[in-house]
Structure 1
Amino acid sequence: MQATTPCGQPDLVSIVVPFFNEADGIELFQHTLRPILDSQPQLRFEVICVDDGSRDGTLDLLLALSRLDRRFRVIELSRNFGKEAALTAGIDAASGDAVIPIDADLQDPPELIAALIAEWRRGYDVVLARRVDRSADSYLKRTTASLFYKVHNQISTIKVPQDVGDYRLMSRAAIEALKQLPENQRFMKGLFAWVGFRSTTIDYVRHARSRGETKFSGWRLWNFAIDGVTSFSTAPLKVWTYIGGAGAALSLCYAAFIVLRTLILGVDVPGFASLLVAILFLGSLQLISIGVLGEYIGRIYLETKRRPTYIVRQRHGDEHEP
């Protein structure tokens, strides 16, 4: 049975795709995606392609694609703002009854779109796509990703589903709730989890990247993990209270030991090495604690500026109604 909106039109599904220097893979991406959209004639589709300040021919190819297929719309950002901002820009522009974020590298298979929509039809507001086989990723990436999920979910009240990326379906109600979250430093996986709603999960095998190279270096992934932890947990701040308390207790115990030993055995010459080690150790703890404080203060500083998450230079294809 064909689902329709209150005005009698078929439901609209928005697919949001961030692009950054993906010129080599755009042809394969559109050749893979378009037949999948054509196979769902009972629905209307819009594909929102967000060019995140690409420096190759990505934008020109996307514009050519939007002229070829009216379902494709292009949002051109004024510079590279990062994937989270580009994803936010696409979600803000999406007008569909359901929204599906997906990467352009085809590691997350578009063939799963029909299954995501089927679960949405059953009444779920959020349909998660979970990677059950990540052998296409390097061993280091799989290991560090698993460690991040475990650490994050252990210290945060908001649990991020393990091995679930941005690829998912969200209903209009979930999207409207997501758009109410005002922070500029955005960790989308955490924000997706924070809004809640009734959800289910579909498992899939992740493919190797179709073209090009990943834009996330080890350093960027590390900073991304720090953003994820500091966005949804104050545990790193609290732990230094306990470390400081434990250090103070040990210092008092050691001071009492020194006093008693001096009273009983007399004064001896303390070792220089042990004094140096103690000073360096405590100094290092202080620097680490200041660094943790700095991470949170830095986030406060950036948020208080209230700068926009992204700036759109131009929108292409908005005149095409889905």
Structure 2
Amino acid sequence: MRAETNPTVDLIIPVYNEQGVVSTFHAQLCQAVDALPYAFTILYVDDGSSDGTPAELAALAQADGRVRVVTLSRNFGHQAALSAGLDRADSDFTITLDGDGQHPPTLIPQMLSLAQAGYEVVLTQRLESDELSWFKRATSALFYRLLNRVGSTNILPGGADFRLLSRAAVQALRSLPEYHRFLRGMVAWIGFRTVILPFAQPARLAGHSKYSLRKMTRLAMDAVFSFSLVPLYMGISLGVLFLLGALAEAVYVLSFWITGNTANLAPGWSSLMFMLLVVGGTLMITLGVVGIYIGYIFQEVKHRPVYVVRAEAPAPAPPSR
């Protein structure tokens, strides 16, 4: 048994429909951490799986006393599942990683060494792989370039939700109550002493990625609209440009009247329709951007929880009086 004075570590692993994968991952995880002088708690967050994943997690909890399982009532999404784990983290260090094998547990000793050296946040940066499709590489590069240009918080390109957080950093994250969560941006926003650990992403143990194009688009929208007001400023800027264009057009028309050359002032139906369409389209886009921000505000002020827990095993201890 480990001494009680050993530092404690919470490992938070969100899973969704990973039947046949989670057991293999757990074996790799144990191989990486069993020899380390830390007291580990392994917290699996089942994000509403509909396959045999809950049964596998129950078997792991029965076989390994370090395992806890939190089951959400439905699929709330990767960021919500991570938040559920962070809300239950109560150790000196907390490490979040995916359970599909693409976040290698072999990096955990190095992450803990950096934490013992004084770093409060250890971020991992995925190195570009030729195995990724050109579409994935291009959209990822565009996303981070756009977000870092329009946002006030610098987000690490190629960053992953594979990170180590100190107890103080976890408590700081808990103080951010927003409903639309982009944890990579939130971790960057809170600050703390940070170091970056590059890694080569291995292939999935089995199955396929649960991040569809729709989910990636939603995450990108949460990132942009949660950390930047630039889309609103762009709408204002377009309005100013069209106002200047209208002023220039008024001066141009007025010049014909001043010079008495109104005969050459031909009616411009085509140009008028073009301007109406451009102005109308710009107004619709700007109103749409404003509407998205209002929608985000609407969802925030309702104060709905980010996730709902259906079951937790073993049951959490009652709060001390």
Give 1:147 deviation, angstroms: 0.9
Deviation at 1:257, TM superposition (A): 0.8
Secondary structure at the counterpart of residue 154 of structure 1: helix
The residue that corresponds to 2:9 in the other structure is 13
Amino acid at match of 1:237: L
Paired residue type of 2:307:
Y
| Correspondence for 1:185 | 180
Q: Which amino acid aligns with 1:178?
A: L
Q: Which runs of 5+ in 1 are unaligned?
A: none
**1:15 and 1:138 mapped to 2: Cα distance?**
30
CA contact (8 A) 1:107 1:207 kept: yes
TM-score, with normalisation over the residues of structure 1?
0.93
Give the whole-Å Cα distance in 2 for the aligned partners of 1:214 and 1:105: 9
Partner Cα separation in structure 2 for residue 84 and residue 43 of structure 1: 27
For the pair 1:73 / 2:68, whether they are aligned, the reply is yes
* 1:300-319 superposed matches below 5 A: 300-318=297-315
Check the 8 A contact 1:133/1:204 in 2, yes or no: no
For residues 178 and 315 of structure 1, what CA distance do their matches in structure 2 show?
22
Q: Structure 1 vs Structure 2: percent identity of aligned residues?
A: 37
Q: CA deviation at 1:220?
A: 2.0
Give the aligned partner of residue 276 of structure 1: 273
Displacement after TM superposition at 1:258 (Å): 2.1
Deviation of 1:316 (Å)? 0.7
The answer as to 2:287 corresponding to 1:290 is yes
Kindly tell me the number of residue pairs found equivalent between the two proteins.
314
What's the CA shift for 1:268? 4.5
2 CA distance for matches of 1:124 and 1:211? 33
Task: Report if the CA contact (8 A) 1:136-1:207 is conserved.
Answer: no
Q: CA shift at 1:12, angstroms?
A: 1.0
- The DSSP-based 3-state class of the residue aligned with 1:120 is helix
The whole-number CA distance in structure 2 between the counterparts of 1:278 and 1:22 is 54
Q: Does 1:35 align with 2:37?
A: no
**In structure 2, distance between residues paired with 1:307 and 1:226:** 19
Name the aligned partner's letter for residue 197 of structure 1: F
Candidates 144, 151, 157, aligned match of 1:156: 151
Per-residue CA deviation, residues 145-175 of structure 1 (Å, 9 max, x unaligned), is 1111111111211111111111110000111
1:113 alignment partner in structure 2: 108
SS in structure 2 at match of 1:306: coil
Aligned-pair Cα RMSD in Å: 1.7
Q: 1:319 to 1:269 in 2, by over 3 A?
A: closer
Structure-2 residue corresponding to 1:89: 84
Note the C-alpha offset of 1:24.
3.0
TM superposition shift of 1:246: 1.1
Q: Secondary structure at the match of 1:50?
A: strand
| Contact persistence 1:137–1:208 (CA under 8 A) | no
Q: 1:166 aligns with which of 152, 158, 161?
A: 161
Report the TM-score when normalising by structure 2.
Answer: 0.93
SS at match of 1:39: coil
Partner residue, 1:261: 256
Q: Structure 1 319/279 Cα, relative in aligned 2: closer, same or farther at 3 Å?
A: closer
Provide the C-alpha distance between the structure 2 equivalents of 1:288 and 1:241, rounded to a whole number of angstroms: 11
